[in-house]
Amino acid sequence: MAAIKANRESSAQTRPNAWQPRRGRLRTWLADHRRVASETSLFISRRIVSSLLVWLMIGVALAMPGLLWMLQSNVQSLSQQWQGSTGLTVYMALGASEQLIEETATALEREPAVTRFQLTTPQQALDELLARSSESDLLQQAIAEVEANPLPASFGVILDSEQPYLALEALSRQLASRSGVDEVVVESTWLERLRDLSRLANRGGSALITMLLAAAVLVAFATIRLAIDARLAEIRVLALIGATRAQLRRPFLYLGSAFGLGGGMMAIVLMAVFLNQIEAPLESLLVSYGSDPELSAFTPQIILLVLTAGWLLGITGALLALIQRLGMKNSG
């Protein structure tokens, strides 16, 4: 009784403006956030296996668009790097006369699609080969043992990059039919195909990314909804004792954030594993095309982007679940 009386006396001083909302003190508001954060950590640690599965599901759904986006930006950057080398290499037949070489050069000069070209004589080609093979004694020895120069003259032809691919094909056929020309290689063939693939990835990728991101939101939504259902009794009690809407929503928004951020981290791990697997064969493929590619993988921006996307997806899922289960569209 004495305890009640003491409580009662001190409470008399704390009751002005009985039920009008008052601004909470920042310190206690922050303390409440800390408490909810700690409860969320506890909630997740007590359900670590199911939480890992949620992170994995969100991670997979995020990693796919992330990888597509990285692939797309790398393809774009590679095609820009190789824009200048779009063209043809015209290989003359072995022993082609100087006159045939000059006639071919004149034909290239007259061709409007040709921006510029450069002749590499058999001797220049041999010198270049010897320079490149300086570290291989075996190759040097093999070249020395060959009596005549085995390399033909060739023209490196740079073409107008605006030319359609079909026009380049026609030019290549026309040059190949000339006397003294052995072979014409269209250097841009694979690049054109890569660009076509990139365009396809752009269109199909957008739809795929949308679907996968929607899947990530749905995973967060379903998980938070289950969490709300499991805590309905607690929500009822809290609402009855005067918890505001913000206080009722806060644990679930924290949970959505935790699932989203965890999913983002899982996505980064999955992307790293995938990129690690394909790094060596991809580099070897690109080097085989005579390029020294610089692929952009995990820049801080990409990591930040994936984590932010994960967090936003988690929060969106949580908000949808709150609206659906508790009808909490308004802040409060």
330: left (phi over 0), alpha (psi -120 to 50) or beta: beta
Tell me if 23 contacts other proteins by CB under 8 A. no
13 lies in the site for other proteins, by CB under 8 A: no
| Cβ 310 to other proteins shortest distance, Å | 29
Residue 329, interface with other proteins (CB under 8 A)? no
- The number of beta carbons lying within 10 Å of the beta carbon of residue 104 is 22
Q: What are phi and psi of 90, to 5 degrees?
A: -100, 115
Shortest reach from residue 220's CB to other proteins, in Å = 23
The least CB distance from residue 8 to other proteins, in Å, is 5
Q: Are strands 154-159 and 114-120 parallel, antiparallel or unpaired?
A: antiparallel
Q: Which stretch binds other proteins (CB under 8 A): 91-99, 174-182, 233-241, 303-311?
A: 233-241
Q: Which one among 16, 21, 281, 300 touches other proteins, defined by CB under 8 A?
A: 21
196 binds other proteins (CB under 8 A): no
Task: Give the C-alpha separation, 289 to 188, whole Å.
Answer: 11
Binding mask 244-273 toward other proteins (x if CB under 8 A, else -) reads: xx-x--------------------------
Closer residue to other proteins, CB minimum distance, 31 or 269: 31
In the complex, which residues of this chain contact other proteins (CB under 8 A)?
A: 1, 3-8, 11, 15, 18-22, 24-25, 28-29, 31-32, 35, 233-234, 236-245, 247, 330, 332
